[in-house]
Structure 1
Amino acid sequence: MIGRWRKKKLETDLSSEPIVVEGFAKGSGGRARNRVRMTMLVFFSIYAVIGGRLVWLGSQELEAGGPGPSRVTTSRPDIVDRNGEVLATDLNTASLFAEPRRIVDADEALEKLLTVLPDLNIEQTYNRLKSNAGFIWLRRQLSPSQQQAIMQLGIPGIGFRTEKRRFYPGGPTAAHIVGLVNIDNKGIAGMEKYIDEQGLSDLQDAGLANPKDLEPVKLSIDLRVQHIVRDEIEQAMERYKAIAAGAVVLNARTGEVLAMASVPDFDPNNPYNAHEKDRLNRMSAGVYEMGSTFKGFTVAMALDAGTANLNSRFDATRPIQIARHTIRDFHGKNRVLTVPEVFIYSSNIGTARLAETVSIDHHREFFRRIGLLERMQTELPEVARPTEPAEWKRINQITISFGHGVATTPLQTAMSAAAMVNGGKLIQPTFLPRTVEEADRVADPVIKPETSEMMRYLFRLNVTKGSGSRAEVPGYFVGGKTGTAEKVVNGRYVSGKRFNGFLGAFPAHDPEYVVLAILDEPQREKPGTGATAGWNTTYMVSNIIRRSATLLGVKPDFGHESDALLVSSQ
């Protein structure tokens, strides 16, 4: 019995032994398969890293060969005028690239490309096609006809990428304001550059400049008035044989620039000459001695300080002698002059006497207060800093009083003039829309309202009875001041080389707009005429006002002079 049990137990143990061995084998096999899987995963990971590294190296190689596909130009917002008219927009255009590794015959490829693009640099292009680069640009922003012609050549390794190209419908009309972009659609001048500086460039770099999300940028410019201004200065430059001309229309109540142009200029669609010296934006990036237009500021200074009034009289019978300098009048009356006479006869002697009613320090502080000695604050990047003597002496005070010795930008002069006639508020100019309420919040009171009232009277008087008579436009009561300055060449004033300007405002009793026109080295239009500001820049301002006033919403008044016009002041 026991023997049978032992035998059965032994058989059972023996029969169960394979089960133990089999279970052990299964466990060992599972671990082995796991090891295989882990090994494969490690190898796959290694290959993935190697593959990723190769991709990265490939992209680096593309960049080494030239701007790769990842650097295709990005979108920009439209720029529009205050009425929604397009000043700048993006267009899709094709750019030609090559993959030199896929070029079968560089000689043949180059020969074919030259039939469509004859201005390609032969040696440089050949060397690049023969290189081992993965990607090179051959020509950016082709015309549709060029793209079609190259496609028909059927060159292996040649392709096209769609890029953005900036288009300016008005061409040079507002070139200095709108500015321009480079080949990569990045703003490099004007409001195009300003827009990039406000964050567009960061959005582009982050790939977030989605054209659907880019709202148009509205400027304060009125394209209709802008066209008129540019047309008038272009005609004037030719008519008076000047080397340059410019003008600005500024809202005296808001500081908005409605129009501004300077010629010679350039076409931003083909800006091959944009960086030439004579293409400078003279209105904001050039500094000039503005001549007798400064006399208005000197008169306002004395009136505001209370050291003179409209009935004050100053002796202009004899020139002023200071050391080796003699101050004379251009058309002297050789008598005692009232303040209005000093202004309308543009007396250097009388203006110098007015300036000397205040201290030199007060004179300098006043010119700084009204914005003539500090760099103007506005959106346009191209803004020059005014120049002045390091130390003001008596001779400096006298010459600066009538516009010699301080050089500033014409736009800055218009800004300061607006403060003289708008009630005394200095408002930095803007190229973006701004309401009167917004302007009041940023305005600095610089002269008393009563002083501004007297200056409006003097401006109007100078057009009705003084040197600004040719600026008159019936129905609009133009006021203003002429300015003729001899230019400085090699440190000396040169007779016959003039910088002329006329500073106008309308309607004179309550000016809405200031218009300043300039001519650089104008000549006589014909024998018997003059070459000073009263003979040319006055006409420019008159024509601009006559053509644009209704567009600006200023209604003519053909009745009588407004009762608001100051007649006298005690």
Structure 2
Amino acid sequence: MIGRINPFRRIRQSGDDSSIVMDSARKSTGGRTRNRVIMTMAVFFGIYATIGGRLVYLGFQDPVPSGAPASRVTASRPDIIDRNGQVLATDIKTSSLFAEPRHIVDADEAIEKLATVLPNLDYEQTYNKLKSGAGFVWLQRQLTPRQQSEIMQLGIPGIGFRTETRRFYPAGATTAYIVGLTNIDNQGISGLEKYIDGQGLADLQQSGLALPKDLAPVRLSVDLRVQHIVHDEISSAMERFRAIAAGAVVLNAKTGEVVAMASVPDFDPNNPVNAQDKDRLNRMSAGLYEMGSTVKSFTTAMALDSGKANLNSTFDATRPITIGRQTIRDFHGKGRVLTLPEVFIYSSNIGSAREADIVGIEGHREFLHRLGILERMKTELPEVARPVEPKVWKKVHSITASFGHGFTTTPLQTAVGAAALMNGGHLMNPTFLARTVEEAMADATRVVSEKTSADMRYLYNLNATAPGGSGRRATVPGYRVGGKTGTAEKVVNGRYVSGKRFNAFLAAFPMDDPQYIVLSVIDEPQALPGQGATAGFNAAPIVSNIIRRSAALLGVEPEFGQEKAATLASY
């Protein structure tokens, strides 16, 4: 019938609509679920990626156990280089062994294993460390790569390695007293290393700002080539003359720069096991000595600069001088009146005493202070001794001081004073850092006149060229070397001992316009067969060899033409 509704058809139609609704709901819910799954996976992936990245990063870092020292232990230091850029000191990476006692299972077994690699390990001390229960203890600092590898193969639980910075000195003992040392924590304890810390490096290390990229190299005035020559010559001389010590310095007379300075016995800064031995002393700046007749350079300059004497002046040396209980004699007396040049080249004690007498006691003392001979030297090197002089000067002190007895000073100060006599009269504090002539002159002090300086250059040259001059054994063909010997008897238990000498030779070259001062010292040298033991036989040849080998490196051109020899006139 028309208009009648089929119930089954309506049901089917309703069923179709519900199915459509349910499919639509299912699709909507499924989409949201997939999104949730993807987001959850992304979150977990991000978390694990972060953890994994952090683990990788930490894997490349040094372990820092609880109680480990602060980072300043491994703080960097600037390279130290010579004037030509050669490295004298630099940082290298090394591994140090530590333990976490709380994680040590068997201290005895651990020590027995470690002793197979580290035979010098202190058993009792190490045992106490491992049983302390602390979070961190050092066992051995600065291992070699081989030691580290062998210890790792032992498989001891509770121990580990930490990378530290260690100082390495490529020149070894050659520059030991100049460059100095650092301690186990890479902090300067001597030499220029200590000076650098005092200039602000220690503060940078403490604050963690001593970064390698920010530390510019420290350039010294030292020339490593000349330094090697000086070290080689004094080492050979010490052995050849069976002396107890020797030393030498090469000083730029125009700038006050120390170009080379060495003292033996010395030590290896890379293994300074004997650095604290009593005979390991930088004798050039930290040793105090009576410098003997080298001081006559200053006595003669003083007499000339006072205006009370000139090159034509004469002094009576016919007989010894007696003052109190002391009698002043000449080593090789001429027994006659001497001219001022003769007093110098014959090294007359009596003549030198007469020179001091015309200046007076206070004038004499003032002059030695003016030249820095009796003042504590100002320089970068921390190891500097303070000269010793009589508290009250009397005439006897002035007389003995005129020929280098009765007061002590350092060899380096003696060389610095001589530079002032040679360079036109300008005293400059010695420096171990490179500087220009202009920088040196800005801080220089005039201590003698140009005329006095010219006269002293003449006398130095005369002493090397005139017959009987004590400086002839220091001459080097082509380089016009002049100088003054010094042989001083040493004081033992308050008395001078004739068999023990401290010898020195003070030289300058080239004498027409001295560029460099060279001073050598040798302590208690023994005479070679057929020779004497005075400075002319041992200290002078050291200077000669140093100049012969280093003059070309210093830029001094030789002249092999007709050299002008000074003429000694006797009145």
In 2, Cα distance between equivalents of 1:302 and 1:489 = 32
Instruction: Name the SS for the 2:359 alignment partner.
Output: coil
2:281 alignment partner AA: L
Given that residues 462 and 568 in structure 2 are in contact (C-alpha distance below 8 angstroms), is that contact kept between their aligned partners in structure 1? Answer: no
User: For residue 325 of structure 2, what is the aligned residue in structure 1?
Assistant: 324
User: For residue 231 of structure 1, what is the aligned residue in structure 2?
Assistant: 232
Query: Over residues 456-481 of structure 1, what are the superposed CA-to-partner deviations in whole Å (9 max), with x where a residue is unaligned?
Result: 00001001120111000001100100
In 2, Cα distance between equivalents of 1:444 and 1:546 = 31
Displacement of 1:72 in angstroms is: 3.2
User: For residue 511 of structure 1, what is the aligned residue in structure 2?
Assistant: 514
Given that residues 68 and 136 in structure 1 are in contact (C-alpha distance below 8 angstroms), is that contact kept between their aligned partners in structure 2? Answer: no
User: For residue 395 of structure 1, what is the aligned residue in structure 2?
Assistant: 396
Q: TM-score, normalised by structure 2?
A: 0.87
Aligned pairs for 1:475-514 (under 5 A) are: 475-514=478-517
Given that residues 454 and 566 in structure 1 are in contact (C-alpha distance below 8 angstroms), is that contact kept between their aligned partners in structure 2? Answer: no
Displacement of 1:146 in angstroms is: 0.2
Displacement of 1:104 in angstroms is: 1.6
In 1, Cα distance between equivalents of 2:71 and 2:514 = 54
Aligned pairs for 1:48-447 (under 5 A) are: 62-63=66-67, 68=69, 70-447=71-448
Displacement of 1:68 in angstroms is: 2.7
Displacement of 1:123 in angstroms is: 1.3
Query: Over residues 483-536 of structure 1, what are the superposed CA-to-partner deviations in whole Å (9 max), with x where a residue is unaligned?
Result: 00000111111111000000000001110000000000001022x200000111
Given that residues 468 and 480 in structure 1 are in contact (C-alpha distance below 8 angstroms), is that contact kept between their aligned partners in structure 2? Answer: yes
In 1, Cα distance between equivalents of 2:143 and 2:104 = 21
Given that residues 248 and 516 in structure 1 are in contact (C-alpha distance below 8 angstroms), is that contact kept between their aligned partners in structure 2? Answer: yes
In 1, Cα distance between equivalents of 2:301 and 2:568 = 16
1:525 to 517, 528, 544: 528
In 2, Cα distance between equivalents of 1:567 and 1:206 = 66
Query: Over residues 351-407 of structure 1, what are the superposed CA-to-partner deviations in whole Å (9 max), with x where a residue is unaligned?
Result: 101110111111111111011110000000000000100011111000000000110
In 1, Cα distance between equivalents of 2:73 and 2:309 = 65
User: For residue 18 of structure 1, what is the aligned residue in structure 2?
Assistant: none
Instruction: Note closer, same or farther for the CA distance 1:84–1:70 as it changes in structure 2 (3 Å cut).
Output: closer
Instruction: Name the SS for the 1:152 alignment partner.
Output: helix
In 2, Cα distance between equivalents of 1:244 and 1:283 = 11
User: For residue 13 of structure 2, what is the aligned residue in structure 1?
Assistant: none
Given that residues 292 and 402 in structure 1 are in contact (C-alpha distance below 8 angstroms), is that contact kept between their aligned partners in structure 2? Answer: yes
Displacement of 1:61 in angstroms is: 10
In 2, Cα distance between equivalents of 1:363 and 1:267 = 42
User: For residue 39 of structure 1, what is the aligned residue in structure 2?
Assistant: none
1:220 alignment partner AA: S
In 2, Cα distance between equivalents of 1:374 and 1:495 = 29
Aligned pairs for 1:16-35 (under 5 A) are: none
In 2, Cα distance between equivalents of 1:220 and 1:176 = 14
Structure 2: runs of 5 or more not aligned: 1-63
User: For residue 450 of structure 1, what is the aligned residue in structure 2?
Assistant: 451
In 2, Cα distance between equivalents of 1:416 and 1:188 = 29
2:177 alignment partner AA: H
In 2, Cα distance between equivalents of 1:236 and 1:92 = 38
Displacement of 1:452 in angstroms is: 0.2
1:150 alignment partner AA: I
Given that residues 95 and 161 in structure 1 are in contact (C-alpha distance below 8 angstroms), is that contact kept between their aligned partners in structure 2? Answer: yes
User: For residue 550 of structure 1, what is the aligned residue in structure 2?
Assistant: 552
Aligned residues: 507
Displacement of 1:108 in angstroms is: 1.4
In 1, Cα distance between equivalents of 2:294 and 2:206 = 47
Displacement of 1:561 in angstroms is: 3.3
Given that residues 509 and 562 in structure 1 are in contact (C-alpha distance below 8 angstroms), is that contact kept between their aligned partners in structure 2? Answer: no
In 1, Cα distance between equivalents of 2:164 and 2:485 = 50
2:249 alignment partner AA: V
Structure 1: runs of 5 or more not aligned: 1-59
Displacement of 1:73 in angstroms is: 1.9
Q: TM-score, normalised by structure 1?
A: 0.87
Q: Name whichever of 70-79 and 209-218 sits farther off.
A: 70-79
In 2, Cα distance between equivalents of 1:70 and 1:206 = 9
Query: Over residues 297-339 of structure 1, what are the superposed CA-to-partner deviations in whole Å (9 max), with x where a residue is unaligned?
Result: 0000010111111111111110001121100000001011000
Displacement of 1:62 in angstroms is: 4.8
Instruction: Name the SS for the 1:423 alignment partner.
Output: coil
What's the RMSD between the two structures over aligned residues? 1.8
Given that residues 221 and 433 in structure 2 are in contact (C-alpha distance below 8 angstroms), is that contact kept between their aligned partners in structure 1? Answer: yes
Given that residues 482 and 501 in structure 1 are in contact (C-alpha distance below 8 angstroms), is that contact kept between their aligned partners in structure 2? Answer: yes
In 2, Cα distance between equivalents of 1:419 and 1:62 = 59
In 1, Cα distance between equivalents of 2:304 and 2:125 = 69
2:167 alignment partner AA: R
Instruction: Name the SS for the 1:454 alignment partner.
Output: helix
In 1, Cα distance between equivalents of 2:382 and 2:335 = 47
Query: Over residues 194-248 of structure 1, what are the superposed CA-to-partner deviations in whole Å (9 max), with x where a residue is unaligned?
Result: 0000000000000000011111100000000000000000000011110000000
User: For residue 540 of structure 1, what is the aligned residue in structure 2?
Assistant: 542
Displacement of 1:547 in angstroms is: 0.1
Instruction: Name the SS for the 1:536 alignment partner.
Output: helix
Given that residues 101 and 134 in structure 1 are in contact (C-alpha distance below 8 angstroms), is that contact kept between their aligned partners in structure 2? Answer: yes
Instruction: Note closer, same or farther for the CA distance 1:301–1:108 as it changes in structure 2 (3 Å cut).
Output: same
Instruction: Name the SS for the 2:102 alignment partner.
Output: helix
Given that residues 251 and 258 in structure 2 are in contact (C-alpha distance below 8 angstroms), is that contact kept between their aligned partners in structure 1? Answer: yes
Query: Over residues 239-273 of structure 1, what are the superposed CA-to-partner deviations in whole Å (9 max), with x where a residue is unaligned?
Result: 11100000000000000000000000000000011
2:379 alignment partner AA: T
Given that residues 62 and 136 in structure 1 are in contact (C-alpha distance below 8 angstroms), is that contact kept between their aligned partners in structure 2? Answer: no
Instruction: Name the SS for the 2:408 alignment partner.
Output: coil
Given that residues 251 and 516 in structure 2 are in contact (C-alpha distance below 8 angstroms), is that contact kept between their aligned partners in structure 1? Answer: yes
Query: Over residues 409-439 of structure 1, what are the superposed CA-to-partner deviations in whole Å (9 max), with x where a residue is unaligned?
Result: 0000000000011100001100000100011
Given that residues 457 and 566 in structure 1 are in contact (C-alpha distance below 8 angstroms), is that contact kept between their aligned partners in structure 2? Answer: no
Displacement of 1:69 in angstroms is: 5.5
Displacement of 1:128 in angstroms is: 1.2
Instruction: Name the SS for the 2:200 alignment partner.
Output: helix
Instruction: Name the SS for the 1:277 alignment partner.
Output: coil
Given that residues 453 and 566 in structure 1 are in contact (C-alpha distance below 8 angstroms), is that contact kept between their aligned partners in structure 2? Answer: no
Instruction: Note closer, same or farther for the CA distance 1:566–1:221 as it changes in structure 2 (3 Å cut).
Output: farther
2:510 alignment partner AA: P
In 2, Cα distance between equivalents of 1:413 and 1:209 = 38
1:533 alignment partner AA: A
Given that residues 467 and 534 in structure 1 are in contact (C-alpha distance below 8 angstroms), is that contact kept between their aligned partners in structure 2? Answer: yes
1:326 alignment partner AA: T
1:536 alignment partner AA: N
Displacement of 1:130 in angstroms is: 1.6
